[in-house]
Amino acid sequence: SPTLAEAAQRTGRYFGTAVTAGKLADPVYAGILDREFDVVTPENEMKLDATQPQQGRFVFTAADRIVDHALQRGKRVRGHTLLWHSGQPGWLNNLGGTALRAAMLDHVTQVVAHYRGRIHSWDVVNEAFADGTTGRRRDSNFQRTGDDWIEAAFRAARAADPGATLCYNDYNVEDRAHAKTQAVLRMVRDFKARGVPIDCVGVQSHFAGGNPVPADFEATLRDFAALGVDVQLTELDVEGSGATQAQNFRRVAQACLAVPRCAGITVWGIRDTDSWRASGTPLLFDGAGDPKPAYHAVLHAL
Ligand code: XIL
């Protein structure tokens, strides 16, 4: 039978995974990675605390190991992420106003320039909207530099690598009825209308008991695509096990397949034991590296 990547390629899509540099030497891990996936996202190695631990000192060692591993094997890389309220180094907390604004845009420019030509898609800005019913921006140091910080970041990223697909990435944007979904839709519509360079919305897709795959998931993907951007499912995991979990993974894959501009799916880790989630079994391979029912369900749906 085909691999996940081969099955996705039949409809012009990709199938990716988050990867951590420290596990590339694990032969089971690397074996599954190299066989099944054609897109790779560094799980933490491109975040701001990793790439600029001190102001002006850029460190790309760990991220480069992942990028090199992927590109040497003909895989593409999703860059994750340039600007996020979390994963920030201490020095950023001591800045504000125009100094923070300049440092923020310098970070975008330097990191995107370092990887120019090697990154398929960048998550330029991650999780900039608040949860709950307000639809407002999340309060963060970046947000306090002015409401236009997101578009400034996208413009800087475009200038530094005109060939990369530029994404806005968030969670709780899977349900059309959610205020955050509507707020991101409004932002993307506004950006497209004003010529802000955005190409894609990343829908994280972390699903759990309290956050099931919503009935209108496919409709939400269609709403984003209708604005003239690609949709990428960027961090998929689904808590649960067995046939129920498999059915949820199948529904996610079917939703992507039903939307022409859904460009691909990335799962947030390879084996259950690689997951960021404290408990549970949210991925496609078990701790021994064997494919689960959810794997077969996704493969069949692609
Ligand atoms: C997570 C990683 O998986 C963890 O290893 C790390 O400790 C924290 O970040 N949304 C995102 C990802 O955009 O960057 C997060 O990744 C998971 C939630």
What share of the chain in percent tops pLDDT 70? 100
User: Average pLDDT in the 33-38 region?
Assistant: 98
Per-residue pLDDT, 140: 98
List, in order, residues 6 or more apart from 60 with CB less than 8 Å away: 51, 114
> Is the per-residue pLDDT at 17 higher than 90?
yes
Quick one: which atom of ligand 1 is closest to the CA of 84? Answer: 13
Arithmetic mean of pLDDT, 3-29: 98
pLDDT band at 210 (very low <50, low <70, confident <90, very high): confident
- Quote the pLDDT of residue 5: 98
Confidence of residue 209 (pLDDT cuts 50, 70, 90): confident
Query: Of 43, 174, 235, 239, which residue is the catalytic one?
Result: 235
Residue 215: its pLDDT value, please?
96
Give the residue among 103, 86, 112 at the shortest CA–CA distance from 167: 112
Please provide the average confidence, as pLDDT, over all residues in the chain: 97
The amino acid present at 273, given as its one-letter code, is: T
Q: Whose CA is nearest to atom 5 of ligand 1?
A: 276
Question: What pTM does this model have?
Answer: 0.98
The residue to mutate among 43, 122, 274, having the most atoms of ligand 1 within 8 angstroms of its beta carbon, is 43
Specify the pLDDT at position 70. 98
Q: What ipTM was assigned to the predicted interfaces of this complex?
A: 0.99
Cα of 227 to ligand 1 centre, how many Å? 27
How far apart (Å, rounded) are the C-alpha atoms in residues 248 and 252?
6
Q: Which of 43, 127, 174, 218 is catalytic?
A: 127
Sole residue written with tokens 């307000």: 134
Q: Mean pLDDT across the stretch 186-212?
A: 96
How far does residue 203's CA lie from ligand 1's centre (Å)? Answer: 14
pLDDT-based confidence at residue 183 (cuts at 50, 70, 90): very high
Q: CA 112 to CA 110: how far, in whole Å?
A: 6
Q: Residue 182 to residues 134, 233, 235, 296: CA-CA distances in angstroms?
A: 10, 17, 20, 33
- All residues at 6 or more sequence positions from 276 whose CB lies less than 8 Å from its CB, including other chains: 43, 268, 269
Q: Are 275 and 238 in contact (CB under 8 A)?
A: no
**Radius of gyration in angstroms for the set of CA atoms belonging to the chain, rounded to a whole number:** 18
Alpha carbons 139 and 295: distance in angstroms, whole number: 38
**Does residue 127 carry a catalytic annotation?**
yes
> 194: pLDDT confidence band, cut at 50, 70 and 90?
very high
Residues touching ligand 1 (Cβ under 6 Å) are 43-44, 126, 204, 235, 276
CA distances, 259 to each of 48, 160, 218, 281 (Å):
33, 30, 7, 28
Q: Is the pLDDT of residue 218 over 80?
A: yes
CA-268 nearest atom, ligand 1? 3
Ligand 1 atom with the shortest distance to the CA of 276: 3
CA distances from 157 to 97, 101, 152, 167, 250 (A): 21, 14, 9, 10, 34
Q: Which tens digit of pLDDT belongs to each residue from 236-292?
A: 999 999 999 999 999 999 999 999 999 999 999 999 999 999 778 999 999 999 999
Respond yes or no: is residue 239 known to be catalytic.
Answer: no
Give the model's confidence band at 97: pLDDT under 50 very low, under 70 low, under 90 confident, else very high. very high
Rounded mean pLDDT, 183-209: 97
d(CA 14, CA 90): 36
